[in-house]
Amino acid sequence: MKKIQVLALLSALIAVAIYVLMQLQAASSAAPAGGVVLFAALIALPLLIASAVFSVGSTFVLKTRVQRIEHGFTNLFWYLVLLCNLILSGFYLYVLISFVYSFIFR
């Protein structure tokens, strides 16, 4: 479970870093806009989706104290990792609910 939590955080950080680097590269040169969008669709978006699946699923499993102790979440570092994933999961669920809400109540 620890590996999944760390993987969720790392994939989210890598996706955001790739997106920022793409925007900087597109703004600093005459790169075609279509290439930047294609790169975002093929790299950054799947990383964010994988991060959402890992983060929401593993955070849901670790909701009880017994599960956290069983999986070794007993010191401050792992509680901080869990807290970061909890915040990230809340953000992902907010985005999903907003997206669905925008299609239902247009």
pLDDT at 45: 84
Tokens coding 10: 């790392």
Check if the beta carbon of residue 88 is closer than 8 Å to that of residue 55.
yes
d(CA 96, CA 90): 10
pLDDT score at 5: 92
What domain count does the chain have? 1
The Cβ of residue 82 has, within 10 Å, a number of other Cβ atoms equal to 20
pLDDT in tens, the chain (106 residues): 899 999 999 999 998 888 888 777 766 666 566 666 777 778 888 888 889 999 998 989 998 999 999 999 999 999 999 999 999 999 999 988 999 999 888 7
Residue 81 is part of which domain span?
Answer: 2-104
Distance CA 105, CA 42 (A): 30
How far is Cα 66 from Cα 61, in angstroms, rounded to an integer? 10
pTM: 0.77
Which tens digits make up the pLDDT trace of 64-84?
A: 999 999 999 999 999 999 999
